[in-house]
Amino acid sequence: MADPSSLIREEIRSIQPYNAGLTLEEVRATYQVETIAKLGSNENPLGPSPALRRLFSDIGELARLYPDPQGRALCTRLATSFGVDSRQVILGNGSEDLIGVICRSVVRPGDTVATLYPSFPLHEDYTALMGGRIERVPVTQDLTIDMAALLAAVARKPRMLMFSNPMNPVGCWLTPDDLAELIAALDAQTLLVVDEAYAEYAAGDEYASAIGMLKGKGIPWVVLRTFSKAYGLAGLRIGYGIVSDGGLCDFFNRARTPFNTNAIAQASAAAALDDPDHLVQSVNAAIEERERMKTALATTGYRSAPSKGNFLFVDVGQSATDLAAALLERGVIVKPWKQPGFERFIRVSIGTREENDHFLRALRDAEGMGETPHRR
């Protein structure tokens, strides 16, 4: 057969396959390890609310019928809790689905999309798919968001500014004052997309969701949220966007598949919202363990970035890919960063106390094997 790649658009050929991380089955089969700490994908170690077990015991009817294509019951609940109109809420098959929907709707060939760097790969990939041009705003030496550079990027009036806050993979975030300054600097020609996948972990005085700050500002915006992280529903694939106005949201609805979120995911998200105690417990456990891990890492000479997520971005002082391979042999899955300038960093999710100790032990052990790490 002839080489089929000539059929494919250049924008797709130039994208790297998404690095989704390893499954437990793959690691078990390849490394013959019994106990595995899966700390590569920022999942919630407590899993979903126990309320979901009841839902799943009676799943036949949900599986048989087509879902509500808009997920109206869930949208209405979300709209009420955020004080917006239900027409301003859009559901996605995970929030990554909505990143694609937004890029398909807005990005034309040659458009500039500004984002933070190191980046969440899908913010760049869906831009590239549409023929857009990425402008990266790198973090500072201290691994914080470079406000001056971000404001300079905004002043050039990109088609879109899309970034995560708290920021994946680093964990840093914009203070409420910085966010207010950024919003004031934005022009109505630029669509602001704030990906708040980790907002539930960040709540407190030092962090503010963009939703409350953007209302009534007269610029177009989308804030993305997900049930995959703090709600523990990563496998069900459901996320949502809050959009500046219903008219803009209607256009995004045209760019998705009609039944993009399934009935089981919609019902599970509603059940998760019914159990706020489980959310609080998940968030508190993650924060306590994150701080314990950060201290333990610092004690052994590893610098990690300030983080308000359920993960740490750690300078391992050597090839992160090599270290991650050594950790896999010891039953620990982490994500080695591969973007230029950050190849000495791993992103490790906060698991249960046992998983985190497993990681710390494996790290000490792996370090003894390889080259002596360079310490900062």
Ligand X SMILES: *Cc1c(COP(=O)(O)O)cnc(C)c1O
Query: Where do contacts with ligand X occur on this chain (CB under 6 A)?
Result: 42, 94-96, 120, 164, 168, 195, 197, 226, 228-229, 234, 239
Nearer to ligand X, 16 or 30 (CB): 16
Nearer to ligand X, 222 or 366 (CB): 222
Q: Please state the closest distance from residue 333 (CB atom) to ligand X, in A.
A: 15
**Ramachandran class of 47: left when φ > 0, alpha when ψ lies in -120 to 50, beta otherwise:** left
Residue nearest to ligand X (CB): 94
Nearer to ligand X, 94 or 351 (CB): 94
Q: Please state the closest distance from residue 98 (CB atom) to ligand X, in A.
A: 8
Q: Please state the closest distance from residue 96 (CB atom) to ligand X, in A.
A: 3
Q: Please state the closest distance from residue 9 (CB atom) to ligand X, in A.
A: 24
Nearer to ligand X, 42 or 49 (CB): 42
Q: Please state the closest distance from residue 367 (CB atom) to ligand X, in A.
A: 27
User: What SS3 state is found at 94?
Assistant: coil
Give Cα 198 distance to the centre of its chain: 7
293 in Cβ contact with 303 (< 8 Å): no
Q: Please state the closest distance from residue 147 (CB atom) to ligand X, in A.
A: 19
C-beta neighbour count of 138 within 10 angstroms: 14
Nearer to ligand X, 226 or 262 (CB): 226
Nearer to ligand X, 237 or 294 (CB): 237
Q: Are strands 332-333 and 345-349 parallel, antiparallel or unpaired?
A: unpaired
**Euclidean distance between CA atoms 96 and 20, whole angstroms:** 12
Nearer to ligand X, 234 or 297 (CB): 234
219 in Cβ contact with 186 (< 8 Å): yes
Nearest to 299 by CA among 356, 364, 351: 364
**Euclidean distance between CA atoms 347 and 339, whole angstroms:** 12
Q: Please state the closest distance from residue 93 (CB atom) to ligand X, in A.
A: 8
The first and second tokens of residue 312, run together, are: 């740490």
Q: Please state the closest distance from residue 204 (CB atom) to ligand X, in A.
A: 19
Nearer to ligand X, 45 or 94 (CB): 94
The first and second tokens of residue 16, run together, are: 């790297």
Integer CA distances (angstroms), 57 to 51, 232, 297, in order: 11, 18, 42
Q: Please state the closest distance from residue 22 (CB atom) to ligand X, in A.
A: 16
Nearer to ligand X, 227 or 302 (CB): 227
Nearest to 72 by CA among 341, 303, 320, 253: 253
**Euclidean distance between CA atoms 83 and 214, whole angstroms:** 12
93 in Cβ contact with 238 (< 8 Å): yes
The first and second tokens of residue 180, run together, are: 């207010």
Nearest to 215 by CA among 311, 312, 106, 83: 83
Q: Please state the closest distance from residue 233 (CB atom) to ligand X, in A.
A: 8
CA angle, corner 119, sides to 6 and 127, nearest 5? 40
DSSP H helical ranges for 65-158: 72-82, 95-106, 121-129, 147-155
Give the dihedral sign, CA 271/204/312/240.
Answer: positive
Nearer to ligand X, 114 or 197 (CB): 197
